[in-house]
Chains A and B, each alone.
Chain A
Amino acid sequence: MDGVSENKMVPSDFSTGPMEKAAKPLPFKDPNFVHSGHGGAVAGKKNRTWKNLKQILAAERALPWQLNDPNYFSIDAPPSFKPAKKYSDVSGLLANYTDPQSKLRFSTIEEFSYIRRLPSDVVTGYLALRKATSIVP
């Protein structure tokens, strides 16, 4: 019943809606359809954009789930228990050493001299790749 009423509620003022932009309206569509998730001109200032996944999940959390129900966020894999191995930022080999100045990891002497000659944006790039940049300067 709700679906039928939605169709009726959208009268011909939407014939100028999304189909204007296409070259010709596609025959198999209902030209008067408007998504309820996206307000467009009708809903006014609110609801103009689509919710992104984070917002959808936040709303989903508020629903009355039981403890064992499977839902999108309960399926997330748990964090790892094993300590992460350290690999060199430059070459990917196992890194035994860390440069105290730039916090990059390296495994050989040549890599060390390479790291010391890097410009600062490349250094921050490598750290950001590992999500090891510190937010507080």
Chain B
Amino acid sequence: MAAATTAGLATNVFPFRDARAAPDPVLEAGPVAHGSLPVPLVLDNGSFQARAGWACPGPDPGPEPRLQFRAVCARGRGGARGGAGPQVGNALGSLEPLRWMLRSPFDRNVPVNLELQELLLDYSFQHLGVSSQGCVDHPIVLTEAVCTPLYSRQMMSELLFECYGIPKVAYGIDSLFSFYHNNPKNMISSGLIISSGYQCTHILPILEGRLDARNCKRINLGGSQAAGYLQRLLQLKYPGHLAAITLSRMEEILHEHSYIAEDYVEELQKWRCPDYYEDNVHKMQLPFSSKLLGSTLTSEEKQERRQQQLRRLQELNARRREEKLQLDQERLDRLLYVQELLEDGQMDQFHKALIELNMDSPEELQSYIQKLSAAVEQAKQKILQAEVSLEVDVVDSKPETPDLEQLEPSLEDVENINDFEPLFSEETPEVEKPVATVQPVFNLAAYHQLFVGTERIRAPEIIFQPSLIGEEQAGIAETLQYILDRYPKDVQELLVQNVFLTGGNMMYPGMKVRIEKELLEMRPFRSSFQVQLASNPVLDAWYGARDWALDHLDNEDVWITRKDYEEKGGGYLREHCASNVYVPIRLPKQASRSAEAQASGKGSGASGGGASEQA
């Protein structure tokens, strides 16, 4: 990389790490899990990553969550191989080869495919060393979306209680747990949480320790949309490297090379200047690919191939024409024979033949004969012409660049002959342009570099300006103002004193400064505000959930037990300091299976019998 002729080329060149995830070991639960009381399992169920671990009581708060893995699964490569089954998370290794087979239980930030969720939970329980038989004997703390649909909570509760047989569960919001972790006093105070995750960004006002759900707002943009935007920008800029610009590499660029501009327009002005550009552009070095190289250096081979294709096409056309000519000739002969019948005066046979040929009168026959003979003549002419030009081609072709001029007249002939191949003739003039201007010597390394300049600030900017990506929603600043305007002035003051930023998508350098600037613009002159970034925006939700679980182990009011689930239905939620607001609407129980069984009668004999018993 350092072997560059000019000094400027060696600066700011970064390779892609292309990290592979190491498969997780199946951990032993260890003594922590077997206390007198069953130890709670804390699971931060996120659309990007799922983080799972034990909430161990005791003086030592404990290390990071034992499991952190991407919330995706994919079947083994090569179709569904029996025995291997779907692989989850870190067992997949690198995600790129399987990109099109990856499936996630999430649709935006809500789990909708509970079968895949079951796989993720299986993976977590198995690798954490859950050893109880027949059921998972630990209380679970699970994160859910803000104002998650009741149906989704019902499905999740059903999965947990009926499949895994857990004793009790508590649902909470990840950003609220993170808030709780950073300042336990927060749970009785007020504040404004801006939480930006993988799929969406939430702005949550907290009043007196409780979420004010009526005034929450969600912007449907997050890290995944930024990665997709960056990927398409780079793919459009470098169409030759389409396959090498993968989402994993985009995530790498976002995590390590992007930042949020404090003043977007001003920052763009800075980027206009070529010196600033040179100093700050990040050149991502793609791995060397000989396939790409081959397609440009061997342009002569391409020309050869094109010529061969042309010749083949010509031959094919000639053969087709000859066959058609033969058929036409035969038909002409037949018609002439019929005409002779007429001339000879054999009227019956003539009329019979006319009917066979599907013609009405001798005049029609005559005109048909004339047309056919003209066509036959034309075909014969064309065949002669084609043969002549083919000979010309073979004689004149030379395998060097002067061949381009020779190719011109043959191309015109091809256009005459090829009435079936318009695509081919359209393709060749386009391909000729780069071939004529290719430089034989160029910097190989530079060819494989992606210059990431203004993209460094454009991709993360979409949460502030969703119009960049065509979204109609307002950005963070405008939504913040909208929410604040719904409160009286004194409450607004209270809220902005404690603005809290959390979530993986908040980790760009310059994010805090930008939020402060936006607040400065919208708050009255000389009012104060405080912005705080979470100590670990990615993992704080898990830490907060663990702290919460340890603090509330004895508190029976916050856990949803199996009895609650059975009495009050799957959508039931017990509120606590970090939970959603429960709206007591009873969902109709999913009666699809029992209804079908009763309706169909046969085929599902046992279950039908069972249903009628219960009913």
Contact = CB atoms under 8 A, between A and B. Distances in A.
B342 interface: no
A92 B454 contact: yes
A29 B135 CA distance: 6
A44 B600 contact: yes
Contact of A129 (B113, B152, B158, B469): B469
B573 to A, nearest CB: 12
Given A28-B164, A79-B474, A60 B592 contact: no
Interface stretch (B265-273, B353-361, B494-502, B524-532): B265-273
A75 B155 contact: no
A11 B107 CA distance: 32
Given A76-B220, A131-B469, A26 B592 contact: no
Interface stretch (B14-22, B322-330, B504-512, B581-589): B581-589
Contact of B594 (A9, A59, A66, A72): A9
Contacts of B164: 28-30
B288 to A, nearest CB: 25
A70 B465 contact: no
Interface residues of A, number: 75
Contacts of A130: 468-470
B217 A75 contact: yes
A87 B468 contact: yes
Interface string B523-559: 0000000000000000000000000000000000000
Interface stretch (B229-237, B367-375, B393-401): B229-237
B578 interface: no
A56 B80 CA distance: 29
B566 A4 contact: yes
A12 to B, nearest CB: 8
B592 A46 contact: yes
Interface string A18-56: 100111001111100111111100111011001111001
A1 B265 CA distance: 62
A137 B108 CA distance: 31
B593 interface: yes
Nearest to B201: A77
B76 to A, nearest CB: 11
A47 B126 CA distance: 30
Contact of A70 (B159, B214, B271): B214
B167 interface: no
Contacts of B220: 76-77
A75 B148 CA distance: 10
Nearest to B83: A23
A6 interface: yes
A85 B467 contact: yes
A26 B126 contact: yes
A53 B108 contact: yes
B607 A9 contact: yes
B447 interface: no
Interface string B462-490: 00011111111111001100100000000
Contacts of A65: 583, 585
A2 to B, nearest CB: 6
Contacts of A39: 592-593, 596
Interface of A: 1-11, 13, 18, 21-23, 26-30, 33-39, 42-44, 46-47, 50-53, 56-57, 59-60, 63-66, 68-72, 74-82, 84-85, 87, 90-94, 119, 122, 125-126, 129-132
Nearest 5 A/B pairs, CB to CB:
A131-B470, A84-B467, A70-B213, A36-B590, A92-B454
Given A10-B607, A65-B585, A80-B472, 18 more contacts: A3-B562, A3-B566, A9-B593, A18-B115, A26-B125, A28-B130, A29-B122, A43-B593, A71-B147, A72-B147, A77-B203, A77-B482, A78-B474, A80-B466, A80-B475, A84-B467, A85-B265, A92-B455
Interface of B: 80, 82-83, 85, 107-108, 110, 112-115, 118, 122, 125-126, 130-136, 145-152, 155, 158-159, 161-165, 202-203, 213-214, 216-220, 229, 232-233, 235-237, 239, 265, 268-269, 271-272, 453-455, 457-458, 465-475, 478-479, 482, 562, 565-566, 581, 583, 585, 587, 589-590, 592-594, 596-597, 600, 604, 606-607, 610-611, 614
